[in-house]
Structure 1
Amino acid sequence: MSSDVPTSDDVSAARIETTRIEDEMEQSYIDYAMSVIAGRALPDVRDGLKPVHRRILYAMHEAGVSSNASHRKSSSIVGDTMGDYHPHGDSAIYDTLARMAQGFSMRYPLVDGQGNFGSVDGDPPAAMRYTEARMAPIAEELLADLDRDTVDFQSNYDDRLEEPEVLPAAFPNLLVNGSSGIAVGMSTNVPPHNLGEVIDATVELIENPDATVEDLMEHVKGPDFPTGANIVGRNAVHKAYKTGRGRIRVRAEFEVEEENDRIVITELPYQQNKARLVERIAEDVTEGAIEGIRDLRDESDRDGIRVVVELKRDAMAEVVKNQLLESHLERTFGVINLALVDGQPRVLSLKETLEHYLEHRREVVRRRSEHELEERRDRAHILEGRLRALEHVDEVVETIRESADRDVAKTQLRETFDFSEAQAAHIVRMQLGSLTSMETAEIEEEYADVTDRIERLEEILASQSELDSVIESELQAIKAEYDDDRRTAFIEDSGSVAHEDLIPEEECVVVMSEDDYIKRMSLETFRAQNRGGKGIIGTDLKEGDRVSSVFLANSHDYLLAITNRGQIYQLKTYEIPEMSRTARGKSAVNLLDLDDGEEIQAVVDCDRVGEDVDEERYLTMVTRDGYVKRTSVEAFENIRSTGIRALRLEDGDELVDVEETDGDADLVIGTVDGMAIRFDEDEVRAMGRSARGVRGIDLEPGDRVAGLAAVDPSRHDWVLTVTENGYGKRSDVSEYRVQSRNGKGLIDIKTGSRNGSVVSIEAVTHGDHLLAMSAAGQIMRTRVEDVSTVGRNTMGVIVMDLAADDEVSCLDIVPAAIAEGERGDDAAGTETTEPDAAGTETSETGVTDPAAEDE
């Protein structure tokens, strides 16, 4: 073989091109990305469909599976689509077909399904061999006039058939049914809308091309999801319509049935899985993230969603509702109005979306009108020939009879009567029956109709306004046929969801027992009585338990609970369950992360903690052994759920009382044996959290601290002391002279067998109320001014009438500002005189023993 003849290897080598791998990778990736963007993942702005949706509907159209036809096996529809138009997996096609049949996914389903097409619980559709489908009536509006040259066609994947590049789309389907998809480097998420609102906005844009997004929003209020629910606020909707992007908060529809202690959920945010929702709520209840729920049931049926959340008897419905809103019943729908415009992806505003649709629809109507005009002109031309033939019927019949064949007849008719080729061909095919007078009248009527229609079509094609009027009338007809009521409502945006927003602000009485049962009740539950009354039941204690503390707090205040181990915990008052007077309460272990053996010893209402605090505010603590400590509230701003250290306690010592002070007060420490010492707050320097403190009072053997009062002479008039047997007195603040700390103090009140030990000491003023509680759970509220003003070294008067085996356990003061805001109706109980231990009668002024006074 000659060396000049190329071999097969030479020919192959000649076809090899050298290129840089990064260039090839870049071009290949761009080709792939554009294929996904334009051919799979993004909808066309004109008909709102992705290729797979369009091909399924076209395959059904070609197979005659219309809304009037019988249902066809889904597998048959999928097979036709895959074999002729969409060369991808059958599962992807069937998933798309199923979604177009789901009323909870499509605002206006395009497929009428028969069988199991999935559920809002996330259940998958049945296999395609078990389900049947046909086009929904509204889907035919997308395909209407497809055979009238309204859109361009393109070859299918193997060039055997042709498919439409886009559907005529008689309504703005992109907005009406929405779309979602993830392409390469971009995604789309268009929410569905109400058909009537979108059509009204389209008509507005036709009539007023300069309309703004705000003008269009007069019609399109916002997305209208098939599952209903509520859109929170309108600002995000406006932003999404103006820019094409936004984040819309969608909240479930539910009702709090307080009389039945339950919350009933009836509508869910769009695309939320109901079964998963119920499962996640149950998980949060099990893990303690949500409290107050005793049962959870899904009672949904074909008529709608109904999830019932049963509440515990002592649960606060508003708090549970708020917790559900924060975690489960509100979702964000991220609007990305991205669609293909002339094959290129673009983020569109509401106005731009409708403008592109109108541009497409005008082209469709123009091409349809041109197509129809051509047909009508052809028909008019034929009818003109028939009418002329009827005028010369005898001659025409004679000419046809004398002709040798049809071709000769057509030639003779054209030469003799000046018919066109089409007219002559039609006349030759006419039957003799069409020559009757009745047929003649019908032809004349048809010809008049055709010519009128030609004139109308010419008007439409000659005038933009006439063409727009056709579009408008067709849109109005579709609205009249398919419009329905809006499903998604709007609710006002009240800002971030917080418990405080849903909890009424009111004064509460908080009661705690030695076994750490805690609850709250409205202060209005307890009316003021005259001193010496028995009070009313305030709690139901279990056997062996005793009341340890009672205090007043606002439902929105922060409470700081300090335990016997010196740890401090924080909670909001409203987090304490609200219960009736006869309820026991809830274990504090469920509210605070207490360790085994850890008990709450004192609680202070310090609503400034956690907010912007003044550095001149302090927590002043006193222990049983007489140590006092002052720490800035700034040290307690960030309290962990497991608590933080508040003070260091020596072995055997424990916290007794805590007051919030401002650095300018005098501290009065009272002991159980009736001693008291007053000294300036500055004598106790501010310390860190881990400090023990300094001595505040030098106790006699066997004595211990009963309480602490922060006295400000400019605000307080008296020091009130109450003993365990229900006796008490008021003494002027001036009776307690200021000393240095760590002194023995002076006699505050006589204790002895009649009075018993001192329970608490408080600083009070005009208008204050005393709230006293017995160990057995009786609560009595009385005006402090009903308690007599006497000197220090006295026995006092009866304050609370106790049962034989009961004693005063704790007390708190209702400030005058709060007490004056209520109606203080007097209840049972009158001022009385009581015999003292020696059997003599003690008046309200008390029995004074000057010799007993001791500093």
Structure 2
Amino acid sequence: MSDEQTPPSPESDQPETAALGQTVDLAIEEELSNSYLTYAMSTIVDRALPDVRDGLKPSQRRILVAMNDLNLSPGRKHSKCAGIVGETMKKYHPHGDQAIYPTLVNMAQDWKTRYLLIDKQGNFGSIDPDPPAAMRYTEARMHRHAVEMLEDLKLETVNWIPNFDETVDEPTVLPAKLPNLLVNGSTGIAVGMACSMPPHNLGEICDAIVATIDNPQIELRELLNIVPGPDFPTGGIVMGRRGIAEAYANGRGRVTVRARIEHEQTRSGKNQLVVKQIPYQTSKNDGIVDKIVQLRKADKLTDISNIVDESSGRVGMRVVIELKRGADPQVVENQLYQMTPLQGTFSIINIALVHGQPRTLGLKDLIQEYINHRQEVVRRRTQFRLKQAQQEAHRIEGLIFAVCDIDEVIRLIRSSRTRDEAIEKLMQRGFRIAPEHPYAPQIPERLKAMADENDVRLTRVQAEAIGRLQLIQLVGLEIETLVANYAKLVAQIEEYEGILADPQRVLDIIKEEIAEIRGKYADPRKTEIADAEAGALDLGALTPVEQVVVTITHAGYVKRLPVDEYRVQGRGGRGVIGASTRDEDFTEQVFVASTHDDLLCFTDTGRVFKIKVFEIPEAPRTSRGRNIVNLINLQPNERICTFMPISDFEKGEVYLLFATINGLVKRTALKDYRNVNASGLIAINLRENDQLVGVLWTTGSDHVLLGTTLGMAIRFQEDDVRVMGRTATGVKGIDLAGHDKVVGLVRIAEGEETDLLTVTENGYGKRTPTSEYLVQSETGSRPQSRGGKGRRDITVNTRNGQVVGLLTVSDEASLMLITYQGMIVRINAAPVRRTGRGTQGVKVINVQQGDRLVALACVAEDNADEAGSEDVGSENVGTDDQGNTDA
């Protein structure tokens, strides 16, 4: 730095200005802050946020002004958009056609703008969304709504400023007779802030403006009765009023908007959902149709068979979603709301420029700002008209004086050599109207009073007006025309002065103009405001309470069917088919429950899900139903190990007993699982490398038997396991040796003794009475204590292989054996020989070389044989592989 350069004084508040050839040291943080703030405010004011008075951004305002300059009124021919864009860019907005044309297009698209400002002709895009054609192909003119925005623009109602190159002037705001910001809303992203203002119904807004004028102290609840909520151009349903009330009170809120979906049925009896309206700012194809197709491919919307877009200009929007047979339309509709843009959230952020500063405004504030703007417009318009009337009255006054003394006026003019000399002589001449003058009776008293006592000197304006008189106007009858015009102007002047002197008259004029706007353009509301909040849809309220048969297959397919579908048969009847299954699947569990009962689904990761029975799709008797993964949100590789129907969580001493592969057991009260949310709940806190084997419900006095892969088994009383909390890990149920693991657990009710069937991976198995798992002593038999090594159940050796499953059976039980390679064999339990503990068992099935047995399950009855007239739910309801029944 040279010697002449000195750093700025730290005490100085003003940054030092460098002279030519000098440099100034500035703190970079301060310079960046100042520059960024300057840029931010420029973006906020000149680009992104609307003015609260006319609801327009500069680009929108300039397009309308340019169209007004081109006289593209509604009655004129449409003009090429390229010309409109060029005029706007040339005179007002030098930011390129890529910024101007999309803005023009948006003001012409009826799915984006509630009350159009541009009347379009040509391809302006679609809600699909298709892009508009190039501006050289499209045409436009002003819509009637835009004319209302520009009315009185030339009457000095708003301020004008020079344009970017100071060749013409442009208005800073439009008079905006139409309450544009309230009825069309606005969106924009600035620096550090954004606005998202919803559109409203014009008729409701007009009524609210009148109500606010009549009662400036009107409360928000009264305005909410007039304006219940937004009115989007695409219709839809706003769910709940809480977000609306918050937004209208403080300028910020969130509302949930749903599509309007109707249920229809085809001639063949298939159900279909028809989308008639969609949420605001949502595209039909890219946003909705494509999303539904993706979810179908991902097997998340398996009840949808096809989707067809039948929309057209004649029928409007009509997207048909065809459902598979047996699908519940209400359930699918709810899934669509949850997983697709057919339900979305619209954030209301009412930020607009007030006197050039961004402010967050509530509904009443927005209405009041519009009223304030219109008061200013009406006053300035009245002042302009008053000024014009006064000028014209002043000119006519001079003409009246001249006609009353026309001979003298002609003499003065003829005696003058030049025009200027004549004007000067007229200005120097004093005029009077004597009482005896022939025209005196016709002269207004206002002029007589001016000319009775003193001579009236003409002004230059009056003298020049006399100079422009034509000879024909000097006839006697001209005085009558002049006096009539003068009287009319005086009346106008008095009217205008009265308006300016009385603020209430200004408000009355605003009310009259608002009533006129309402009468011209008000239309019915498009968006419905529902009282129910989103997510509060109670399918239970839509589902009658009835008894149904629920069927669950080994592969996890579920369905429900009314009990009435299973007709009552005589004893010994053949029954009816309860489900159609594939070769690799079979019915594993059947139970009768109420549609309003709960179904707990426990997974191997220790989580539990709860669904209502009515959420299980109703399917025909011969259908296998829908996979449970479509109803609950399972993680990859997570599987359900236990289904448990529950009718009452508040039953007395009822518990759930859990067992893991590492030998841990846990007992928890059933009522602890009554509150399970849609995303699931931790049912047991598993340790690392542990998995849940199964869950039993117990009564508090039952015995529990655990079996392991190395052929050990332990039977203990359930109360050996103390009652724990829901998230507890549990205690040791069996002491495992080496790499041994628990493969199954069964409940043995008090006083009940059945057979325990155990099978191994090489296809061997045996039945053993459960009493043999008790410890015999001189005083009788007793179960073992929890946590022991257990007793030998079956011999595990090279011939048998490891144990793969165990369950309690009777002679009538039907079993399914599944191998690793997918072979399924169905056998009856009776032929399996009953032997003692510790034996090798007998061959149950022939397992091919290289294959092995992997699972064992009890087959639930899949027909509806009835004994006499007994109910279907009493005798033909099966149990699952752990012996679970309805708790």
The alignment's TM-score, normalised by the length of structure 2, stands at 0.70
Q: Write the distance in 1 (CA, Å) between the matches of 2:568 and 2:745.
A: 25
The CA deviation at 1:61 is 1.7
Judge conservation of contact 1:629–1:686 (CA < 8 Å) in 2. no
User: What is the deviation of 1:422?
Assistant: 2.4
Between 428-437 and 262-271, report the one with greater CA deviation. Answer: 428-437
CA contact (8 A) 1:247 1:335 kept: yes
Measured against aligned partners, the alpha-carbon deviations of 1:824-850 in whole angstroms (never above 9, x if no partner) come to xxxxxxxxxxxxxxxxxxxxxxxxxxx
Query: 2:563 — aligned with what?
Result: 523
Distance, in Å, in 1 between the alignment partners of 2:173 and 2:753 is 88
Does 2:385 match 1:372?
A: yes
Provide the residue aligned with 1:297 in structure 2. 308
Query: Superposition pairs for residues 74-85 of structure 1, below 5 Å?
Result: 74-85=81-92
Query: What residue is the counterpart of 2:15 in the other structure?
Result: none
Gaps in structure 1 of 5+ consecutive residues: 1-10, 649-654, 670-677, 695-704, 713-717, 722-737, 760-772, 789-798, 801-806, 818-855
What 5-or-longer segments of structure 2 have no aligned partner?
Answer: 1-17, 432-455, 674-679, 707-714, 736-743, 756-779, 785-790, 792-808, 814-827, 832-858
Matched AA of 1:459: G
Counterpart code for 2:24 = E
One-letter amino acid matched to 2:682 = N
1:762 matched residue in structure 2: none
The equivalent residue for 1:780 is 866
Q: Corresponding residue for 1:266?
A: 276
Separation of aligned partners in 1, 2:537 and 2:307: 23
Alignment of 1:343 onto 2:356: yes
Counting matched residue pairs gives 718
Shift of 1:99: 1.0
After TM superposition, give the deviation of residue 501 of structure 1 in Å: 5.4
Query: Which residue in the other structure is 1:662 paired with?
Result: 699
Aligned-pair CA distance for 1:278: 0.9
Structure-2 change in CA distance of 1:750 and 1:616 (3 Å): closer
1:318-338 CA-to-partner distances (Å, cap 9, x unmatched) read: 221111101221111111111
The Cα offsets for residues 51-78 of structure 1, whole Å up to 9 and x where unpaired, read as 1111111122223222233222222222
In the TM superposition, what is the alpha-carbon distance from 1:758 to its structure 2 partner? 8.6
Candidates 52, 76, 96, aligned match of 2:59: 52
What SS is found at the alignment partner of 2:321? strand
Structure-1 residue corresponding to 2:504: 465
CA distance in 1, matches of 2:701, 2:30: 79
The reply to whether residue 106 of structure 1 matches residue 146 of structure 2 is no
Aligned partners of 1:226 and 1:487 also within 8 Å: yes
Match of 1:34, SS?
helix
Q: Which amino acid is the alignment partner of residue 617 of structure 1?
A: Y
Give the partner amino acid of 1:477: E
- 1:302 Cα shift? 2.3
Q: 3-state SS of the aligned residue for 1:780? A: coil
Q: Find the counterpart in structure 1 of residue 290 from structure 2.
A: 279
CA contact (8 A) 2:254 2:346 kept: yes
The answer to whether the 8 Å contact 2:566/2:864 transfers is: no
Q: Give the superposition deviation at 1:293.
A: 0.6
Give the secondary-structure state (helix, strand or coil) at the position aligned to 2:174: coil
- Which segment drifts farther, 414-423 or 778-787? 778-787
- Partner of 2:592 in structure 1? 552
Structure-2 residue corresponding to 1:126: 133
2:655 to 606, 610, 617: 617
Q: Match of 1:315? A: 327
Quote the offset at 1:589 in angstroms.
Answer: 7.9
Quickly say closer, same or farther: Cα 1:169–1:749, change in 2 above 3 A: closer
Q: Displacement, 1:438?
A: 6.9
- Pairing 1:29-48 to 2, within 5 Å after superposition: 29-48=36-55
The 5 Å alignment of 1:194-273 reads 194-258=201-265, 260-273=270-283
Alignment partner, residue 425 of structure 1: 464
- Range with greater deviation from structure 2 (151-160 or 411-420): 411-420
Following the alignment from structure 2 to structure 1, what is the Cα–Cα distance between the partners of residues 607 and 44?
59
Partners of 2:701 and 2:718 within 8 A in 1: yes
Residue in 1 aligned with 2:621? 581
**Distance (Å, rounded) in 2 between the aligned partners of 1:256 and 1:413:** 87
What is the TM-score of this pair, normalised by structure 1?
Answer: 0.72
| SS of structure 1 residue aligned to 2:866 | strand
Answering whether residue 368 of structure 2 is matched by residue 355 of structure 1, we say yes
Shift in CA distance, 174/615, structure 1 to aligned 2, threshold 3 Å: farther
2:123/2:138 contact within 8 Å kept: yes
Report the Cα distance in structure 2 between the residues aligned to 1:758 and 1:227, rounded to whole angstroms: 67
| SS of residue paired to 1:17 | coil
Measured after TM superposition, the shift of residue 12 of structure 1 is: 7.1
Indicate conservation of the 8 Å contact 2:161/2:170, yes or no: yes
Structure 1 residues 252 and 437: alpha-carbon distance in aligned structure 2, compared to 1, 3 A threshold: farther
Using the TM superposition, name which of 545-554 and 488-497 deviates more: 545-554
Tell me how far 1:813 sits from its aligned partner: 12
Letter in 2 for 1:522: P
Distance 2:641 2:507 in 1: 80
Q: Are the structure 2 counterparts of residues 786 and 53 from structure 1 closer, same or farther at C-alpha, using a change threshold of 3 Å? A: closer
> In 1, are the aligned partners of 2:696 and 2:747 still within 8 Å (CA)?
yes
Partner of 1:700: none
Question: Is 2:147 the counterpart of 1:140?
Answer: yes
- Shift of residue 167, structure 1, vs aligned partner: 1.4
Q: State the secondary structure of the residue aligned to 2:311.
A: coil
Q: Deviations for 1:745-801, whole angstroms, at most 9, x for unmatched residues?
A: xxx99999xxx9899xxxxxxxxxxxxx9856234376779999xxxxxxxxxx89x
CA deviation string 1:462-510 (max 9, x = no partner): 0111111112211211221122111111012245357855762543211
Structure 1's 553 and 567: CA in aligned 2 closer, same or farther, altered over 3 A?
A: farther
Tell me: CA distance 1:126–1:691, structure 2 relative to 1, closer, same or farther (3 Å). farther
Judged with a 3 Å threshold, the aligned counterparts in structure 2 of structure 1 residues 25 and 590 are, in CA distance, closer, same or farther, namely closer
Aligned-partner Cα distance in 1 for 2:595–2:619: 13
Is the contact made by 1:117 and 1:126 (CA closer than 8 Å) also made in structure 2? yes
Whether the aligned pair in 2 keeps the contact of 1:683 and 1:741 (CA below 8 Å) is no
SS of alignment partner, residue 352 of structure 2: strand
Match of 1:638 among 663, 678, 682: 682
- Structure 2: how far apart are the matches of 1:588 and 1:141? 59
Does the aligned pair in 2 maintain the 1:560–1:568 contact within 8 Å?
no
1:111–1:562: structure 2 CA closer, same or farther, 3 Å change rule?
closer
Cα distance in 2, alignment partners of residues 595 and 432 from structure 1:
100
Amino acid at match of 1:288: D
Work out the CA distance in 2 between the residues paired with 1:685 and 1:443. Answer: 112
Alpha-carbon distance change, 523 to 161 in structure 1, aligned in 2, over 3 angstroms: same
Rounded to whole Å, the distance in 2 between the matches of 1:206 and 1:598 is 64
Separation in structure 2 between the aligned mates of residue 319 and residue 494 of structure 1, nearest angstrom: 18
Q: 1:639 to 1:75 in 2, by over 3 A?
A: farther
Equivalence for 2:104: 97
Q: Let me know the Cα RMSD of the aligned residues.
A: 4.9
**Residues 235 and 277 of structure 2 are in contact (CA less than 8 Å); yes or no, is this contact kept in structure 1?**
yes
